[in-house]
Structure 1
Amino acid sequence: MNVIIFGANGNLGRCLVSEGILAGCNVTGFVRNRGKWTERTGASLPTERLTIMEGDATNPQQVYDALTDCDAAVIAAGNPKDADRFACIVDTIVTQADRHPRFGGRLWMLSGAALLDIPHTNRNMIGLPGMPPMYQVHQINYDRIRQSKLDWSVLCPGPMVENADNAYMTNLRFSTEESPLTVSESERSLPEPALLGLLAQKTPELIIPYKEAARFIMNHLEHSGPFAGKRVGIALPEGRVGEKAGWNLGQ
C-alpha cells in the first residue's frame, strides 16, 4: 500500500512514517522543510520504502501531485493555534483528494478529543462554555471532511506524549463517535461549566503516546473498515492516567 503523511516532520508525523514502514507500506512524507526532516531523523529509517516530498499543504497543485497513485493519506499537519491555516490545510487536502482520479480514497484526519460526543448525549465538548474558541477549528474540519465522498476517519486523541520506554501498550480503550471516558448519568446532568471541569479532570486518561495513535491509524488503512465515516476515541487502560505539561481538553 502507498500512503502519504502530510505533516511528517511533526512528533506524530514521524511516528506515522515509522509505523507505516513497519506495517509494510510505501510511505511518502510530505514536509514543509526537507532540511528539518534530515536534522530530526538522520538516517534512522530505511529509504527503500520512504520518499520525502517538500511542499506546502495549502498549495492545491502540490497537494494534488503528491496524492497521485497513493492508496491512503493521513493529515497530521496543522495546529489549532493557527486555526486559519489548519482549516486551509484540511480543506485543500480533502478537496484535492476528493477530485483525484488516481488517489485511492482512504483518508485519516487528526482532531482533538473535544470533537467526540459526551457519552450518551448528542453534543461534544467544543461548544461547552469555557472551551477556548480556537478549538472550533476541529468542528470546521470535521464538517468539511463529512462533505466529501472519501472513505474517511477522524482520530480524536487527547494530549499526546513521547514513549518513555518505546514499548507498545496493551488494553487501550477505543470508542467510536463518543468519548471513551466514563461519564455517569448524574455527571451528564451537571451544569455545562461544571461538566467541562469534570471532563478536564478526566483528561489525563486520554494522554497517550504518539506511537500508539500512529500504530492505530496504520493498522486501519483498509477501505470500508470498522472505522470508516467515524470519529474514533482512544484512552489509556482503565485505571491509568498520563502526564503532559500544559494540556487541555481541546488537544
Structure 2
Amino acid sequence: MNVTVFGATGAIGQLVVDELLRAGHSVTAYARNPAKVPPSWSEKNVRLVVGEITDAAAVEKAVAGADAVVSALGPSLDRKATGLPLVEGTRHIIDTMRRHGVRRYVGNGTPSVVDERDKPTFLQKLVGFLGRRTLPRAYRELLGMSEIVMTSGLDWTIVRFSAPRNGPARGVRRQGFFGTDKIGVKVTRADIAAFTAAQVSDERYVNAAPAISN
C-alpha cells in the first residue's frame, strides 16, 4: 500500500515509518522540519513532503495517491503555545482524503478520547481531569482532532495510550476498551508504532478507538 504519515519525524512517527517499510508498504512522510528527517529514509525511497500542518496545498500533495493515512501528530505540551493548529491540519487531511477517495485513517490519542464501547475507569477519568487542569489548550486540541476524525464518515481507527516510554518493544499484551479489557498504563513507543502501523491493513478496529498497554 501507499501510506502517507503525518508527524513522521516525531518520536513515534519515525518508528511508524520504519514499521510500515518493514511490512513492505511505500511511505510518504510529511515533515515540518526537514532537519529531523533520518538520513536512512533517502536510501529506503521514502517520499518526503515538507510543510506546516496548516498548509492545505502541502497536505494535498502528500495525500494524493495514498491508499491510507497515518497520523502520529500530537499536541504541543508547551504552555506558551497558542491556537489549535492540529485541529485545522486534521480538517485539511480529512477533507483531502475525501476528495481523493482515500478511506483508511489511523491516528493516535489518549484515554481522554472516549469510545462508545468504554465503561469509564478511574484511569480514564484521571487522564481527562489532568488534561483539562494542567494542559487545557493541548486537551482541547486533542479532542478537536479526534472529533473531526470520528465524525468523518471514513474508515478510521484511533489508537489510545496513556504513558508512552522509550525502550525495546515488549508486545501489546492488553488491547481493547476501558472497563472491559483491563488496559494498563505503560506502553513502549516501539509497541505503539507497531500496533499503529498494523492497523493500516487490519479491519478489526475500524471505526473504533482501541486502547493498548504492555
Report the TM range for the smaller structure's normalisation: 0.7 to 0.9
Question: Identity of paired residues, percent?
Answer: 21
> Any gaps of 5 or more consecutive residues in structure 1?
184-204, 237-251
- Superposition map of 1:76-225 within 5 A: 76-81=72-77, 82=81, 84-101=84-101, 104-116=102-114, 119-121=118-120, 125=125, 128=129, 131-132=132-133, 133-134=136-137, 135-163=139-167, 166=168, 168-170=169-171, 172-176=173-177, 178=178, 182=182, 205-222=184-201, 225=203
Q: Is 1:50 the equivalent of 2:46?
A: yes
Q: What letter corresponds to residue 143 of structure 1 in structure 2?
A: E
TM-score by length of 2: 0.82
Alpha carbons of structure 1 residues 113 and 127: separation in structure 2 relative to 1, 3 Å: closer
Q: Using the alignment, how far apart are the partners of 2:66 and 2:131 within structure 1?
A: 41
Where 2:88 maps in the other structure, the secondary structure is helix
Q: What letter corresponds to residue 73 of structure 1 in structure 2?
A: V
Q: Using the alignment, how far apart are the partners of 2:20 and 2:65 within structure 1?
A: 16
Name which one, 1 or 2, has greater alpha-carbon Rg.
1
Q: Using the alignment, how far apart are the partners of 1:60 and 1:71 within structure 2?
A: 19
**Number of residue pairs aligned between Structure 1 and Structure 2:** 204
> Any gaps of 5 or more consecutive residues in structure 2?
none
Alpha carbons of structure 1 residues 129 and 209: separation in structure 2 relative to 1, 3 Å: closer
The Cα offsets for residues 171-225 of structure 1, whole Å up to 9 and x where unpaired, read as 510014x367749xxxxxxxxxxxxxxxxxxxxx4221111111112112127x1
Q: What letter corresponds to residue 15 of structure 1 in structure 2?
A: L
The alignment's C-alpha RMSD in Å is 2.8
1:231 counterpart residue number: 209
Where 2:21 maps in the other structure, the secondary structure is helix
Q: Using the alignment, how far apart are the partners of 2:132 and 2:121 within structure 1?
A: 17
Q: What letter corresponds to residue 220 of structure 1 in structure 2?
A: Q
Alpha carbons of structure 1 residues 175 and 91: separation in structure 2 relative to 1, 3 Å: same
Q: What letter corresponds to residue 115 of structure 1 in structure 2?
A: V
Alpha carbons of structure 1 residues 64 and 226: separation in structure 2 relative to 1, 3 Å: same
2:55 counterpart residue number: 59
Asked if the contact 1:113–1:157 (Cα under 8 Å) also holds between the matched residues in 2, the reply is yes
Q: Using the alignment, how far apart are the partners of 1:129 and 1:154 within structure 2?
A: 21
Alpha carbons of structure 1 residues 172 and 93: separation in structure 2 relative to 1, 3 Å: same
Alpha carbons of structure 1 residues 130 and 220: separation in structure 2 relative to 1, 3 Å: closer
1:35 counterpart residue number: 35
TM-score by length of 1: 0.71
Alpha carbons of structure 1 residues 62 and 169: separation in structure 2 relative to 1, 3 Å: same
Tell me the CA shift for residue 226 of structure 1.
Answer: 1.0
